[in-house]
Structure 1
Amino acid sequence: MSTRRRRAAEHEGEEDEEDEAAVSVERVFEGREVPGWREQVTARALAVSALLGFMFSVIVMKLNLTTGIIPSLNVSAGLLGFFLLTSWTKLLEKAGVARVRPFTRQENTVVQTCVVACSGIAFSGGFGSYMFAMSDRISDQSGENWEAQNIKNPGLGWMIGFLYIVSFLGLFSVVPLRKIMIIDYKLIYPSGTATAHLINSFHTPQGAKLAKRQVKTLGKFFVTSFTWGFFQWFYTGGEGCGFMNFPTLGLQAYKQKFFFDFSMTYVGVGMICPYLVNLSVLLGGVISWGIMWPLIEHKKGDWYPADLKPSSLRGIVGYRVFISIALILGDGLYNFLKVRGMMSEPTLPVSGGGTTGADVPTPEETFDDKRRTELFLKDQIPTKLALGAYAVIAVVSIATVPRIFHQLRWYHVAVSYMIAPVLAFCNAYGCGLTDWSLATTYGKLAIFTVGAWAGAADGGIIAGLAACGVMIGIVSTASDLTQDFKTGYMTLASPRSMFVSQVIGTAMGCVIAPSVFWLFYNAFPDIGMPGSEYPSPNALVYRNMAILGVQGLGSLPRHCLDLCIAFFVFAIVINLARDLAGPKAAAYIPLPMAMAIPFYLGPYFGIDMCIGSLVRFTWDRLDPARAKAFAPPVASGLICGDGIWTLPQSVLALAGIKPPICMKFLTRSTNIKVDQFLRAAHSTH
C-alpha cells in the first residue's frame, strides 16, 4: 500500500508541476541573460543566412517553375540554422578558439528570419508568375497577338532594380501595427508559433524537468509527422495521386473539395488555433463550396459561357476570386479603421488565448506574457521613422518604376501605395488567424484594376502585371514580417533585430533570387514551354488574367459584381455585430476573414483544422493539465515535421527522382472501363 501511495503522490506531484509550469516557457529561461539586439544580429548568423538563403531560393525557384506551389519554409530555416551554427561553434571550440560566443535562441531566430526573407523574394518576385508572364514566350502561348508594348522579356538588371524598389515598402507599412497584431489581438500565426516552440526546445536549459519532457514530446511527433510525409510521398507518382487526394467523404464531396487530406500541418494548426477560427474556416467552406458554387455552376451557359477553360476568370473562378477578395477587404478595412482609432476600442478577435488557444489566461501565461511583452516593447522601432521611410521609398518608387515599365504611369503606382497599407494589414491579419498568406490574391486584384485602368492600347497587360508585382511585394513581406515578429516575441528576440534581419534578408533576396532565375532561364532554353522540365504553368495563368483585366468590369461573369458588393457589406455587418454583441456573444459569431479564405482555396484544410480542434477539445476535457502542458509541443511537432519534409522532397524533385506509385480513386463505373481497357491492351500484346 505504501508503495502505491508513494507512486500516487509522485504522480500527483508531477501533475501539479505540469499544471503550474504548463505554459510558462520563460520560467525555464529565467536565469539566462537576453543579449542586446546588436548581439543578436551577428556576422556568423548573417553568413549562415546567406548560405541557406541561396539554397532555399533554388528550391523555391524550382517549385515556382514546376508546380507553382510553395510551402512554408520557416520551420526548415529554424532547424537548419540551429544545426549549422551549433556545428560552427563546436568546431571552433574543438579548434581551441578562445571565448566563442554562446549560440542563443535569439540568434537562431535572426537566422530563421533572414533566410525566410531572402527566399521569400524568390516567390514574391513573380519569376514563375507575373514577371515571366510579361515575356514573348508566354505571350505566344496565350493565343492572341499583342504589340511590343505589351511584352517585356526578362533581364537581370531591371529585375534586380525593380525588386529593390518594391520589396521594402511592406516592411515599413506593417511596423506601426506590430503591437496591435501580436499583443493586443494576440493573433496566433501558427507557423511562427510552431517555429518559436521548436527554437525554444533546441535551447532549453539542462535540468528543467517538464521542459525536457515537452522537448521529448515535440521530437516524438516531429519524427511521426516527418515519417508520415515520407510514407505519403511513395504514392504521389502522378497528378491527383496520393493520400492528399483521398475522397474520405465520397467522390461527390471530393469534387467540391470536402475531404480530409491527411495533412499533419493543418491538424497541428487546428490544435493551436482558437476554436472560433477553425469553425469559421469550415463555415466559409460550407457556404461557398457546399452551397454557392454548386448553385452558380448550375447557371453555366446563362451567367457565364459553358465552353471556358477551367482557370478562366470569366467563369466560376471569377466568382471564387473576386467574392473572396470582397469579403477579405470588408473585414480588413473594418479592422484597419478600428486600429487607426476611428472607431471604438476593438474587441479582440481571439479571446485571450495566447498561443494555446485556451479561453481563460492562466497566471503562468500572464508571467510569460509580461516577460515577452516587456522585451517586445523595449527596443522600439519609431513609428515616425517607419512612416517616413515608407513615404521616401514610395516617392522614389513612383519616380522610378514607370522608367522600368513605361506602360505603368506614376499615378498608377501612387494609388497602389495609397491602398497598399490596408491590403498589407488584411494579409497580415488573415495570416495571423489561419496561416494562409493571400498575397497572390491581392496581386490578381491589382492586375484586374490597373490593367482595366490603363487599357490594352496603352500597354495595359504589362501595366497590370507590373502593378501585381508592386502589390505582392508589399503584402507578402508584410505578412512575413509579422509572422517573424510572433516568433521573435516568443523567443525574446528583439523586434529591432527581427526588423534589421528582415531588411538584410530582403536585400540579399533581391540579388540572389533574380540571379538564380537567370541561371535557370539561360540553362534551360525551353523554360516556360508546355511539356518541358520547367513549364511555369502559373505564368500563362497570370498572362490570361492580364488579358481579361484590360477588357474591364464588363468581362466579369454575370452578377459577380453584385455578389462582391453584398459580401463586402456582409463582412462589415458581421464585424459590427461582433463589436455590439459583447465578448461572450462574440465568441459565437464567425470571423469574416477566416470564412473568406476557403471561398477560393476550398474547405479541405478547414476539415484538417477542425480535426485538430476536436483532438484538443477532447484532450482538454479528459486531462486539462496535460493538455495545457503538451498540446503546444504536439501541435508544433506535427507542423515542423511536415514542414521539414518539404526540404528532402524538393531535393528529390531537383534530382529528378519521382515517386514509384500512383494511388488514385475512381468510381466503380470508371474502374470497370479502366479494367476493360487494360485487358484489351494486354490481349493485343
Structure 2
Amino acid sequence: MENRAEEHGMGMAEQSQITHRRNKREEREALRGEGMEDEMMSIEKVFEGKPMPHWREQITVRSMVVSFFLSIMFSVIVMKLNLTTGIIPSLNVSAGLLGFFFVRTWTKILEKSGLLRHPFTRQENTVIQTCVVAAYGIAFSGGFGSYLFAMSSRTANQTTEAKNSLNIKDPHLGWMIGFLFLVSFIGLFSLVALRKIMIIDYKLIYPSGTATAHLINGFHTPQGAKLAKKQVKLLGKFFVGSFFWGFFQWFFTAGDDCGFVNFPTLGLEAYKSRFYFDFSATYVGVGMICPYLVNISVLIGGIISWGIMWPLIGKKRGSWYSAELPDSSLHGLQGYRIFISIAMILGDGLYNFLKVLVKTISGIVAQTRSKNTSTTLPLSELDPSTETSTLVSFDDQRRTENFLKDQIPKKVAFAGYVAVAGISTAVIPIVFPQLKWYHVLVTYIFAPVLAFCNAYGCGLTDWSLASTYGKLAIFIFGAWVGASHGGVLAGLVACGVMLNIVSTASDLMQDFKTGYLTLASPRSMFVSQVIGTAMGCVVGPCVFWLFFKAFTDLGMPESDYPAPYALVYRNMAILGVDGFSSLPKHCLTLCYAFFAASILINLLRDIVGKKWAQFIPLPMAMAIPFYLGSYFAIDMCVGSLILFIWEKLNKPKADAFASAVASGLICGDGIWTLPQSVLALAQVKPPICMKFLSRQMNDKVDTFIATLS
C-alpha cells in the first residue's frame, strides 16, 4: 500500500511495525531451532576473529553482477504489484536471502577450483541487499503506478477534467530515465551528513533495517548458513511451481474475461461485485507476508464498498447522477469510488503525519534535554534492557568504531546536494514547462527539513510517509500554478520530486542502520546505494516500458493491470486545482464522512492500546478495494489461512520458512510476467478461452450456435 507505507510500500506503516515484530519472532524461533540461541546474545563475539574487509573490498564485481540481476527480478515483481493493486510487501529479506545464496554458490564453486581470492562476508551481503533494495525502490518511487502514469493521456481520458495537452505527458523511455536521474539522487545527499546523529547519538532503531541486519548476521554463522540453505531450497521449489502455474493459466486467456483470473468461485452474482478468488500466486504470497490485520482490513473494505455502498448508490442512478452515464464515468458511480477512496487515504495520511510529527518533535526535545546522549530514546520499539550492559558495550563499541572509521566528508554531501539541485532546477522545467525553475528551487529548499522529519520518524516508528509529502506537493504546487497553466501536470511532477527526495533519504538511513549492525562501511553503503539507484533509474523505466508496450489496455479499469493509483493521483491533482466542482451529488458529504471516519478509527486504535487495536481495521488498507474490488483481498486471506493452519500444525517451521514460501510464490509469478510480455509483443495469442456463463446465457449461446450450423 502506499509509500511502502501506503502503496509500497505496503511497507505500510502499521504493517511495517507488525512485520518487524513478526520477523524478530521468526528469527528467534528459527535460530533457536538451529542451535544459535547463545550466539544471538553477542553477535560481534561470533565474528570477532574474522578480518574486517576494507570498504572497497565490500563492493565487488560479483556483488554488483548479482545485484543487477536481482534488481531486474525484483523490479518486475514490484512493477506488477504497482500496476495491479499497489500492495507491495517488504522484499528486503528475499533480497538478502537470494543475494546470500547466489554469491555463496559462486564462492563455493571457486573455492573447490582453488580460484577463490576473497571470501563472502556479511558486509558484501549487506552491500548486495542495499543495492537491490535501492534499485527496486525506484520501481515504486518512480511513480509508474501512481504520479508518473497519472500524467498520461490513457489516465487523463478516464477523467472529465484537464484533458488538454497542457496537462498531459505520455510515457516515453527517454524522458522517464532522465527525470528519474534528476530527482532520485538528491535525497541521498540531503541527510548523509546527519548519519552519526541519527544512528549513534540518537540511537534510532529503524526496525526494518535492524531486522534485516540480524538476518544477514545470522546467515553468516555456520548454523545460519544451514538454515538459509533450507530456506532457499524451499523458495526455489515454490518459485518454479508459481512460474509454471502462471504459464499454465496463460493458455486459457485467449479473450476478454477469460481464464482462471476470472473464475467466479463464489458465484456469478458475487463475481459481478468483484468477489472471487482469482488463483493469483502473487497475492496468496503477499497474504502470507502481510499481517492478518492488513488482509482482514482489505476484505472488510471490499465488503463495505462493493457489498453495501455501491449497490445502494447504484439505485440512486437518475437521482444522484445521470442515468445516461456509464458506471466508469467520474460524474457517475466511478466518482464515488475514486473520491471516497481518496478521502480515506488522505484522512489516514494526515493522522499518521501529525502523529509521527508529534513523536518526532517530542523525541528531539527529549534527546536535547538529556545530558546522556548514549541513552536510547524512550520512543524506540526495542527495549535495551533485553541485553546485558556488558554485551551492549562490546557490540556498540565495535560497531561505533567501525561506523566512524570511513567518514563521508560533509563538504561532499553539501556540494553533491547543491550540484544535483542546481542541475535539476535548470533541467526539470525544460522537460516539464508547466513547472518553473522557482517552483523546483522552493522544493529543494524545504526538502531537507521534510526528509529529516520523515527519516527521524521512520527511525522511531518504521513509518515512512513519503507519499504523504508527495500528496501535499500535489495540492500546494497544483494550486500555485493554476488550472490554466497546467497545474494538474505541475502538481504531479512536484509530487514526484518531493516523494523521491524524502523516500530515498529515509531508505538511506535505514541502510546505514543495517550497515552499522553488520559492520559494513558507511562508504560502501553510500556507494552501493548510489549504484543501486542508478540501476533502478534505468531498469525501472525499461520494465515499465515493457509492460506499457506489451499490454495495450494497461491502466484501463477492467484490464489485468488497471494501475489504480494513477487515476487516484490524477484526481487528487484535479481536486487541488479545480476544487470540488467536479464531484457528483452528495459525493462531497460522503467524502467528509469517510475522511473523518478514517481519522477516528486511527485515533481509536491508539486509544485502546495494542491489545485491542489488533481487532480494529486499518483505514488505509480498507480504502484500496473501494476502487478495485475484493478479488485480491480474497487471495490475501487465503494466504493468511494457509499461514494460520501451518502455524497451528508446526509453528517453528512456519516461523522459519513461511517468508521463503511466500517469496517463492511472489517471485515465480512475478517473473512469469517477463515471458508473458515477450509473447504479447510478439503477438503470440493463447489458444483457449475459458469463460463462465450462467445457465440461461449458455442456453442462448447454444441456440445461437445451432442456428449457424
- How far apart are the structure 1 equivalents of 2:263 and 2:462? 28
CA RMSD, aligned part only? Answer: 6.0
C-alpha change, 1:102 and 1:214, in structure 2 (3 Å) is closer
Q: Does 1:107 align with 2:131?
A: no
Contact 1:128 1:536 in 2 (8 A): no
- How far apart are the structure 1 equivalents of 2:32 and 2:416? 49
- How far apart are the structure 1 equivalents of 2:30 and 2:560? 56
Q: Choose which of 341, 345, 361 in structure 2 pairs with 1:324.
A: 345
Secondary structure of residue in 2 paired with 1:379: helix
Q: Does 1:220 align with 2:247?
A: no
Secondary structure of residue in 1 paired with 2:335: coil
Contact 1:130 1:469 in 2 (8 A): yes
C-alpha change, 1:299 and 1:19, in structure 2 (3 Å) is farther
Contact 2:284 2:638 in 1 (8 A): yes
Q: Which residue of 1 aligns with 2:705?
A: 681
Amino acid at match of 2:667: I
C-alpha change, 1:60 and 1:442, in structure 2 (3 Å) is farther
1:30-41 matches, cutoff 5 A: 31-32=46-47, 33=50, 35=52, 38=55, 41=58
Amino acid at match of 2:698: V
C-alpha change, 1:295 and 1:500, in structure 2 (3 Å) is farther
Contact 2:293 2:618 in 1 (8 A): yes
**Which of 110-119 and 31-40 deviates more?**
31-40
CA displacement, residues 463-520 of structure 1 (integer Å, 9 cap, x when unaligned): 2342243245346646765786797689776676444422221134335656788999
What number of residue pairs does the alignment pair up? 643
- How far apart are the structure 2 equivalents of 1:585 and 1:591? 13
Q: What percentage of residue pairs aligned between the two structures are identical?
A: 45
1:272-283 matches, cutoff 5 A: 276-277=293-294, 279-283=296-300
Secondary structure of residue in 1 paired with 2:433: coil
1:64-103 matches, cutoff 5 A: 78=96, 81-82=99-100, 85-86=103-104, 88-89=106-107, 92-93=110-111, 96-97=114-115, 100-103=117-120
1:225-374 matches, cutoff 5 A: 226-228=240-242, 230-236=244-250, 237-238=252-253, 240-262=257-279, 276-277=293-294, 279-305=296-322, 307-308=325-326, 310=328, 312=330, 314-341=335-362
Amino acid at match of 1:231: W
C-alpha change, 1:636 and 1:60, in structure 2 (3 Å) is closer
Q: Which residue of 1 aligns with 2:660?
A: 637
Amino acid at match of 1:216: K
Q: CA deviation at 1:652?
A: 1.7
- How far apart are the structure 2 equivalents of 1:599 and 1:347? 39
Q: Does 1:464 align with 2:478?
A: no
- How far apart are the structure 2 equivalents of 1:24 and 1:482? 27
Amino acid at match of 1:457: S
Q: Which residue of 1 aligns with 2:533?
A: 506
Contact 1:332 1:425 in 2 (8 A): no
Contact 1:338 1:344 in 2 (8 A): no
Secondary structure of residue in 1 paired with 2:403: coil
- How far apart are the structure 2 equivalents of 1:497 and 1:579? 39
Contact 2:479 2:576 in 1 (8 A): yes
C-alpha change, 1:217 and 1:200, in structure 2 (3 Å) is same
Q: Which residue of 2 aligns with 1:455?
A: 482
CA displacement, residues 241-277 of structure 1 (integer Å, 9 cap, x when unaligned): 5555555544444555555555556555555655555
Q: CA deviation at 1:640?
A: 1.6
Contact 1:423 1:442 in 2 (8 A): no
C-alpha change, 1:184 and 1:579, in structure 2 (3 Å) is farther
Amino acid at match of 1:339: T
- How far apart are the structure 2 equivalents of 1:41 and 1:467? 36
Q: CA deviation at 1:654?
A: 3.6
Secondary structure of residue in 1 paired with 2:119: coil
C-alpha change, 1:297 and 1:127, in structure 2 (3 Å) is same
Contact 2:72 2:539 in 1 (8 A): no
Question: What's the TM-score, normalizing by structure 1?
Answer: 0.69
**Which of 437-446 and 602-611 deviates more?**
437-446
Q: Does 1:18 align with 2:39?
A: no
C-alpha change, 1:399 and 1:264, in structure 2 (3 Å) is same
Q: CA deviation at 1:641?
A: 0.7
- How far apart are the structure 2 equivalents of 1:480 and 1:369? 27
Q: Does 1:672 align with 2:696?
A: yes
Amino acid at match of 1:454: V
Amino acid at match of 1:455: G
Contact 2:282 2:665 in 1 (8 A): yes
Q: Choose which of 651, 668, 676 in structure 1 pairs with 2:674.
A: 651
Question: What's the TM-score, normalizing by structure 2?
Answer: 0.67
C-alpha change, 1:586 and 1:17, in structure 2 (3 Å) is closer
Q: Which residue of 1 aligns with 2:373?
A: none
- How far apart are the structure 1 equivalents of 2:269 and 2:392? 47
C-alpha change, 1:548 and 1:91, in structure 2 (3 Å) is same
- How far apart are the structure 1 equivalents of 2:314 and 2:401? 51
CA displacement, residues 163-221 of structure 1 (integer Å, 9 cap, x when unaligned): 233213555678879879x99787569xx979986x678x4554x3x974675366336
Contact 1:527 1:536 in 2 (8 A): no
Contact 2:343 2:595 in 1 (8 A): no
Q: Does 1:121 align with 2:138?
A: yes
CA displacement, residues 69-92 of structure 1 (integer Å, 9 cap, x when unaligned): 897776775566456544654565
Contact 1:347 1:579 in 2 (8 A): no
Q: CA deviation at 1:649?
A: 0.3
For structure 1, the 5+ residue unaligned runs are 1-13, 355-360
1:481-492 matches, cutoff 5 A: none
**Which of 18-27 and 652-661 deviates more?**
18-27
Secondary structure of residue in 2 paired with 1:235: helix
